[in-house]
A and B are shown apart, each in its own frame.
Chain A
């Protein structure tokens, strides 16, 4: 799919309009944003602690177990998305808070934060939707565009989608190692990464050990010690389900951000010597938004404002809602498509896209020898 570019003049004035939005909003960033993220962190910590305790009360009645699991799942979602993703992007670095710092923060997931920062912040945000460069596009396992050459195994990608959903945190953890072909296939040469392969593998396992110890050893064991084996397994299972809830939700939100029907892809040549306006344009075409309630926006880490996040990756997430209103107007003014819809509508098109590209391309010549 080659993208038709608007005229240079349009791009130039588009670029100016967007910069103006960014400058206006960034000038307002301050106490309000700090209070907001601290509040979210407090809610997240509270839900984490209360959720884990409520799960233990499942000893008296199973309903508490269910409530506890859901709370813990939500705490993990908040931790990963509204806090983790955004803090690790550096959106709150200006607060100088050592615990909300992009270089220090790590999240409640099996994926090592540093590894994610490398693949996501750099690759994905710089080379958004450039086939072959942005490996977040399809996560190396899904074919979501005709620009990705056909292979037979893509027939099964609807099943892969389901597996990816359930194991999302593990996929993110393994993402960078996969790119280097560490365990499967022929290992890539050292040196492309800022760290050695040995270090990469070490960090990978360290983080997994930390996460597994907490959810599948420590908390089940502490509770099991007092309340017996059944509760050991109840807590272990509860933590497992909470992780599953988070995986499902995160995966759905993220897929709605980049793999909906209308989202464009790009090839490398299109993007050499790209102007800032062109870069903005690519970010807009390569992302899609979700409409919904305030709670949905917060639970999505404001990735429901994926377009704005891609335009201004280090703007505090708290400001994406107001940025979105203005970006939308600017897009309308310049006749640039702005892709948004409800969660349900957007996700339907994601599933449709996964199914569509799980069929071999028709040989119309255009893509056959891509």
Chain B
């Protein structure tokens, strides 16, 4: 115990000393950050922040879903089925970063050194359509270590997986991992698809289900059956109450399913769910166009009315926060902060932001939809 403590302390002493010396010699937190531009001359795309990896192939799945096949760099440590990671690639000079779940199994990674990420092209999105084109002939991207706790619960409890659209990706990873390792846990997947043509990985799931009697897969065609309802689970998976329920899909779908299964008596600790991107802000709003702004560090969620929107800076101040600011007209950049998600309008340039993580100026940004800020 005491040994462990000293080693932690000396570790932090050395890392502090390294940081201090690096700051002094290079004005960077790490010496490697100073060398990064020089290293990039030999190894394009190398960064201190993430793991340089190769996109091997872009494989079309349906009309608007494709899979990136990636060989992660050596420093990448592997993952647990269901986890996600950030992928970064340079688009016209801008480093674009997005979260995606790994859709292939850890066993597959161990065998081939490859992982897959299945991505839906977002309408009007800047990054998802571009990735497909940009990596058509392969290329370099950067990955972060896998993270997230949307993974199969410990123990051997039976599970019910409810997926909507491209929310299938973590489940594909879990089920193919179960199949590869001969996991005997009872798993039932209900997969909601828009129509036949959008039934992702259909053959693959049917094959797994046919070969493993503990795995069952039911495709739910929303065009015929409509959205998720209490009747659906009662009919398809009557023993749902004894299972852990895992949900992944578009935001409204998750909210709907959570509501229905808890009404049906499944307790909150037996429901697991994962949103694509940031979790939505769950508050009532008078007008559907009103946006909520979540000031994460301040722990405040504030409503911004669509009718007379104010800048994020004013909104923060109205809610008792005091973010750093100066000119208040977009000149000085003191009010810069990180937007984690959501779209804002820059009132100076009249441009809409992207949906992902980026730096914005609070004083000239007006929320367009729900925004999460690191303030």
Contact = CB atoms under 8 A, between A and B. Distances in A.
| A and B assemble together | yes
Contacts of A269: none
B339 to A, nearest CB: 12
Interface in A24-64: 26, 29-35, 38, 41-42, 45-46
Contacts, number: 98
B324 A95 contact: no
Given A32-B93, A34-B93, A108-B27, A93 B336 contact: yes
B334 A122 contact: yes
B27 A107 contact: yes
Contacts of B326: 118, 121-122, 126
B27 A99 contact: no
A98 B359 contact: no
Interface in A84-123: 89-90, 93-99, 101-103, 105-108, 117-118, 121-122
Contact of B331 (A46, A98, A126): A126
Interface string B7-48: 000000000000011011101100001111110110000000
A334 interface: no
A214 B25 CA distance: 6
Interface stretch (B58-66, B94-102, B153-161, B206-214): B94-102
Contacts of B94: 30, 34, 94-96
Contacts of A117: 332-334
A46 B38 contact: yes
Contacts of B40: 38
B38 A214 contact: no
A32 B33 CA distance: 22
B92 interface: yes
A83 B332 CA distance: 17
A158 interface: no
B92 A42 contact: no
Contacts of A97: 95
Contact of A218 (B24, B37, B49, B90): B24
The CB with the most chain A CB atoms within 10 A, among B27, B40, B96, B349, is that of B27
Contacts of A99: 28, 33, 36
Interface in B91-124: 92-97
A28 B333 CA distance: 21
Contacts of A95: 93-95
A240 interface: no
12 contacts: A26-B349, A34-B94, A42-B38, A97-B95, A103-B336, A103-B359, A108-B27, A122-B327, A126-B326, A194-B324, A210-B27, A314-B333
Given A93-B359, A194-B324, A194-B334, 14 more contacts: A23-B349, A30-B92, A34-B90, A42-B37, A42-B38, A45-B35, A45-B37, A94-B93, A102-B359, A106-B27, A121-B331, A122-B334, A126-B326, A213-B24
